[in-house]
Amino acid sequence: MPLPGFTGSPLDRADHLRGDPEIWAALVRDPAARLLLLDGYDPLTGPEGRLGWGLLNGGVDGRDMALLGLIDGSPRFIEIRSPAPAARRSPALMAMLDSLPEGEAATYAAARSLADWHARHHFCANCGSATAPFRAGWGRHCDACGTDHFPRTDPVVIMLAEYRGRVLVGRQPAFPPGRYSALAGFLEVGESMEEAVARELAEEAGVRVGPVRYVASQPWPFPSSLMLACIAEAESETIRLDENELEDAMWVTREEVAAALGGDPDARFGAPPPYAIANTLFRKWLAGA
């Protein structure tokens, strides 16, 4: 079973190196130090389709940098840009994600999420004053009120409702033609994962569920979510669609899911791409998860 997309990075996040200015200076001067090459937020790949890394050349030239971590002992950095580039998801980027090796995509996900977090946190949420990076780029500090800010992830549940050997899939208008996926939604404050699964299925499709079981998780760097994949036992097959959320929803069989994952041109629907955890969720459901 393949790893969920955006997982399996070879990065050693090296938290113990983040707080010492002398260590930071030594890492920047390390001849093996490398800078991730980005066009805006999109990765620039090398001739083998892997992430491109440039020489740091012993300094940062006054630029704000963040230490992603170490790969094979080599320090890996990203530039924190101001003004921030446009946080778009181009068709070219999404196609590239299909071809990046598992670990490479995971390293890119960490880099993109961290860079995007910095872009959205130039000012203190407590007092409104400007903030500056610290802890090797894994935080921002406000000199005006002393508040420290750290990167956060937003938890999202993504789930299949199961009823008598079939699962519920849905599509949004923004999906490519024919594609269906698992339903998903953000957790709300004061809510458990299981409660969020039940609420989202009821809100979007009118499907009531009982027991919920966790399957797998995945970071999603657009901009910074943690996808929590689950399977829930539906109480009936009745669908009452919220058309503000979904264009369509339907129950599909194991054979139909297998055909979609296999790219069968006659499949009832098109499956989500391999880097999406919905793809993993379908595969795990077929395997009996």
Q: What is the DSSP string of the chain?
A: -PPPTT-----B--GGGTT-HHHHHHHHH-TT-EEE-EETTEEPB-TTSSBPEEE-TT--TT-EEEEEEEETTEEEEEEE-SSPPP----HHHHHHHHHS-HHHHHHHHHHHHHHHHHHT-SB-TTT--B-EEEGGGTEEE-TTT--EE----EEEEEEEEEETTEEEEEE-TTSPTTB-B-EEEEPPTT--HHHHHHHHHHHHH---EEEEEEEEEEEETTTTEEEEEEEEEES-------TTT-SEEEEE-HHHHHHHHTT-TT-SSBPPPTTSHHHHHHHHHHTT-
Mean pLDDT value of segment 40-56: 90
Position 58 pLDDT exceeds 70: no
The confidence band for 48, taking pLDDT boundaries of 50, 70 and 90, is confident
pLDDT tens digit sequence for 234-283: 999 999 999 999 999 999 999 999 999 999 999 999 999 999 999 999 99
Contact 41, 87 (CB under 8 A): yes
Range among 48-62, 81-95, 263-277 with highest mean pLDDT value: 263-277
pTM for this entry? 0.94
The confidence band for 62, taking pLDDT boundaries of 50, 70 and 90, is low
pLDDT attached to residue 199: 98
Mean pLDDT value of segment 125-149: 97
Domains of the chain: 15-120 (3.90.79), 154-286 (3.90.79.10)
The confidence band for 63, taking pLDDT boundaries of 50, 70 and 90, is confident
Position 223 pLDDT exceeds 80: yes
Mean pLDDT value of segment 34-51: 90
pLDDT tens digit sequence for 180-197: 999 999 999 999 999 999
Residue linked to tokens 């780029």: 137
More confident: 200 or 94: 200
